Structure 1
Amino acid sequence: MASPPAAARPTPRRGGRPTREETARLDRDVREHALRLFLENGYEGTSMDAIAQAVGTTKASLYARFPSKDAMFTSVFSWAMARPDWPLPEPEPPDLDDLEGALTAIGQAALRRALDPAMVKVSRIAIAHNDRFPELARRSQLATGGSPRQRLVADLLCRHAATGAITLTDTPETLADLYIGMVSSAPARLASFGVVPDPAEADRRIEAAVRLFLRALRP
């Protein structure tokens, strides 16, 4: 049987007290491998033994970091969804002077994140374990739309309201939440049930949402 590629094998660790860099690397490895296994196998299908084996460490080392599998589960997903580079890197901010173009770019980024296979798996896990991990559902919703992205839309609306290009019919925060909901929240929910739009349909959805949104705000 062929050996696994070097990138897939756990990093060998020397004996003795680990350095700060080794401890940080182990912490990252634990989270990365635990995240992968939870996404692939779900909560019930992932054991602490399997995570320890994937990392190349011991269960005692895992329990020194997390008091239980529940704690690891919630911590790992909170860590992942707070990262700007997971499940894919965030794009550069759009040109805020171009209202329609910026809304389109923000909507595309929100939808792309919501439909990423990793985020779809998170949504399914959140739905399946809502009673046990209610916080996961809230975090997955925030990760799909994203508070930073909503703040960007709110700032964009304030910027153009100040020029008279649009009239704010509610608070900027509420309008931003409604816009993100249109472009990403509903598709994310459908994707969790296996209904994923093709790229052309996704683009048409963003264009329609931008037209509808601006029609309501322009004088």
Structure 2
Amino acid sequence: MAEQEPTEIEEPARRRPGRPSLSNEELLDKALDLFLEKGFAGTSIDAICAAASMAKRTVYARYGDKESLFKAALTRAIDDWIVPIERLREQESEDLETSLMRIGEILVSNVLGPAGLRLLRLTNSESVTMPEISQENVRRGTEPTLRYLAGLFRRRLGDENGEFPEAEEAAQAFLNIVVGGPASNAAWGMQMEMESVKRHTRYCVRLFLHGVLDEAAMSARNDTGQLRRLLRDAEDRLGEARARIDEAVRLVRD
């Protein structure tokens, strides 16, 4: 029987390389750019998939629908924007005004940076139809900063027991005065030179701080005045009581 020649084994066909899969962070960045450019209603999943070079089924598998994708993109934007409280604490020094200057400069620079402006414009444009996005922004970004500032004011402006009843109001006023102006200007498309931003921050910090100190001094003066009135009233009542006792003693002796 003739020996059969060995047959050549065919190599399996190689799979063509597919499109590389973007990371979640890259997908969310692409989606966020489109949401910012065209708004939530004007942005389609098809457009996001095209921008990300990703199959629609992959996007749906990751996020389910456009609203979930939008909220995930917004959450990432908030995470990029938030200033860690530890960084604010690092700016504290023995001098409160210097501390507030440093803290104010960080917060203003943060809101005017690319991540801050992107988040500001996006929340402003969509918060009417989706108010929960502004609420999430406040809950995760603003509220921790307010709590930190209120604690700082209690430590530095409170009495010997650390009591400062207006701490929360002072924290909100600080953000409104120091950060709110530049943020409002940016939301309306107004640009400020960095030197103008620094000058604005310095002025507003001094305006806030001396206003708070004057208010505290006035409150202390009011408390002192009220205490003095109470002491005078007590002395008058004590004098009347002594006069009555003397009169009673005289009657008993007579």
- TM-score between the two structures when normalised by the length of structure 2: 0.64
Deviation at 1:160, TM superposition (A): 1.0
Render the CA deviation track for 1:136-191: whole Å, top value 9, x for unaligned.
23344567x73332222222211112477x99461x22211110111112321221
What residue identity is the alignment partner of 2:24? D
3-state SS of the aligned residue for 2:40? coil
Match of 2:44 among 41, 44, 47: 47
Please give the alpha-carbon distance, in whole angstroms, between the structure 1 residues aligned to 2:197 and 2:19. Answer: 41
3-state SS of the aligned residue for 1:42? helix
Q: What pairs with 1:103-122 in structure 2 (closer than 5 Å)?
A: 103-122=100-119
Q: What runs of 5+ residues in structure 2 fail to find an aligned partner?
A: 1-17, 218-254
Deviation at 1:109, TM superposition (A): 1.3
Q: Percent identity?
A: 27
Tell me if structure 2 keeps the 8 A contact 1:74–1:133.
no
Match of 2:199 among 204, 207, 211: 204
Deviation at 1:104, TM superposition (A): 0.9
Equivalent residue, structure 1, for 2:65? 68
Deviation at 1:56, TM superposition (A): 3.7
Aligned-residue CA RMSD (Å): 3.0
Higher relative contact order (CA 8 A, sep 6+): 1
What residue identity is the alignment partner of 1:34? A
> Residue 132 in 1 paired to residue 129 in 2?
yes
Please give the alpha-carbon distance, in whole angstroms, between the structure 2 residues aligned to 1:117 and 1:78. Answer: 16
Equivalent residue, structure 2, for 1:22? none
Max Rg structure: 2
- The aligned length equals 193
What residue identity is the alignment partner of 2:207? L
Please give the alpha-carbon distance, in whole angstroms, between the structure 1 residues aligned to 2:193 and 2:202. Answer: 15
Deviation at 1:194, TM superposition (A): 1.0
Please give the alpha-carbon distance, in whole angstroms, between the structure 2 residues aligned to 1:163 and 1:212. Answer: 22
Please give the alpha-carbon distance, in whole angstroms, between the structure 2 residues aligned to 1:89 and 1:11. Answer: 36
Please give the alpha-carbon distance, in whole angstroms, between the structure 1 residues aligned to 2:20 and 2:24. Answer: 14
Render the CA deviation track for 1:59-95: whole Å, top value 9, x for unaligned.
11211222321221122102320x2xx2487583312
Please give the alpha-carbon distance, in whole angstroms, between the structure 1 residues aligned to 2:182 and 2:103. Answer: 15
- Return closer, same or farther for 1:169/1:209 CA change in 2, 3 Å cut-off: farther
Render the CA deviation track for 1:7-54: whole Å, top value 9, x for unaligned.
xxx9725xxxxxxxxxxx733332232223323443344321232234
What residue identity is the alignment partner of 2:132? E
- Return closer, same or farther for 1:125/1:28 CA change in 2, 3 Å cut-off: closer
> Residue 179 in 1 paired to residue 185 in 2?
no
> Residue 151 in 1 paired to residue 152 in 2?
no
Q: What runs of 5+ residues in structure 1 fail to find an aligned partner?
A: 1-9, 14-24
- TM-score between the two structures when normalised by the length of structure 1: 0.73
Equivalent residue, structure 1, for 2:227? none
Please give the alpha-carbon distance, in whole angstroms, between the structure 2 residues aligned to 1:61 and 1:168. Answer: 53
Equivalent residue, structure 2, for 1:6? none
Deviation at 1:126, TM superposition (A): 2.4
Please give the alpha-carbon distance, in whole angstroms, between the structure 1 residues aligned to 2:153 and 2:19. Answer: 48
